[in-house]
Amino acid sequence: MSDFVRVLAIASATAIFDTLVVLWARFRFRLRRTVVLALFGLIVVLVGVPLLVSRVAATGGAWMETFDASVSLLHLFVAIAFGGIVLLEVALWLRARRRTTDVPASSTPVVVLDRREALAKIGAGTIALGSSLPILWGTFKTRVDFEIVEVPIRLARLPRALDGFTLVQLSDVHVGPFLGEHPLRLAEEAIARLRPDLVAMTGDLIEVQRIWVPSAVAWLRRVSNHARFGGVAIAGNHEHYAGADLVLGAIRSAGVDALYNEGRVIAPNDGGGFALVGVDDLSSERHRRGPGPRPAAALSRLPPDLARILLCHQPSYVSRAQIFGFDLMLSGHTHGGQIAPFGPLVLAQAYPSLAGLSQHDDLRLYVNRGFGTSGPPTRIAIRPEITKFVLVAG
């Protein structure tokens, strides 16, 4: 069933804008347009409400936490509605053809195409085609065409013994109905070739539903096994949607270290190592699902003279993280905007950085573009990312 839903959702990504254009250009008469739009809305309600209720039930009845997932379901609603519109268009075409065949052979039908109507149809077709191609390309090509980004990071307090230490960051994988086994397998193979010292997962490993936890955690375990020091993971907002205790518990049971406002000394036998702190997601504090980021307690249990790296899902926390003496903060959450140009334009107003490396006083922030998608199962001009950090001493 998940494959069927995935196909419908992907197909519907090309239908959202096209449906509205076709409706407006095809049904010029007010009565007919009103009827068609009413039918469109009825289909969305009749199909959408049961699906939304089932999604709420899957997340334990938490209505606020279903918003992101509901955006994905919207594509399914529109796909079904668009199918109804196509059937209606076929019916109207057959009706017009029957009327044409009923005309006596002696009479010659005259077709008059108004200039305004011709321009409207040409414009509607051009807009529909122009909007479909980027979405189709983003769905079937860009969405699975991940990029490995290598970033050297100099840390003044890093021991010489750890010069060249490699840390691979994964973020926002969103294992679920829109991410199949093939891209996950390719990602695992790519990480194995990188031969990392440590793998860090910075939140949103799964989409929303708890049924994806076993397969997501199994994949994370396999990926972490390719690293010399294994893997660590933190909670993102989607872990809280599914239940942070459940997801983090499953991660720990699989042998991957889940940091929930906790710290670790990585490679302590190599000149003392460096401090790695993982904190809770910022949204849990806002919506009272958990304590939120609390790095102070974790740092109090670590040696004060080590280089410090913070794992925090949302880059918005960077302004508060500066006071704790971290050298580097690794985040995700933004997907780099996911759909250019509108995604970056909107999200740039909400986050200090959408992607890549940026400097915030003495703290460097890196925002990973994520591996999966949230909402529309497509990426337009923004590729998924796996980041390889090479730590440089001195």
| Domain range list for the chain | 2-140, 147-393
Cα radius of gyration rounded to whole Å, the chain:
25
pLDDT at 38: 59
Pairing of strands 385-393, 231-233: unpaired
Closest to 145 (Cα-Cα) out of 173, 180, 183: 183
CATH class of 147-393: alpha beta
Express each pLDDT in 12-29 by its tens digit: 444 554 555 555 555 554
pLDDT at 219: 98
pLDDT at 67: 42
Instruction: Count other Cβ atoms within 10 Å, centred on residue 183.
Output: 17
Would you state the structure tokens that stand for residue 327, as one six-digit string? 């050298």
Low-confidence ranges of the chain (pLDDT < 70): 1-132
Asked if 284 and 272 count as a contact pair (C-beta separation under 8 A), the reply is no
pLDDT at 208: 81
Cβ neighbours of residue 370 under 8 Å, at least 6 residues apart? 171, 172, 173, 174, 204, 332, 333, 334, 335, 336, 338, 384, 385
- Say how far apart CA 364 and CA 315 lie, in whole Å: 11
pLDDT at 91: 63
Would you state the structure tokens that stand for residue 309, as one six-digit string? 């790296």
What SS3 class is residue 373? Answer: coil
- Say how far apart CA 299 and CA 304 lie, in whole Å: 8
pLDDT at 168: 98
pLDDT at 10: 45
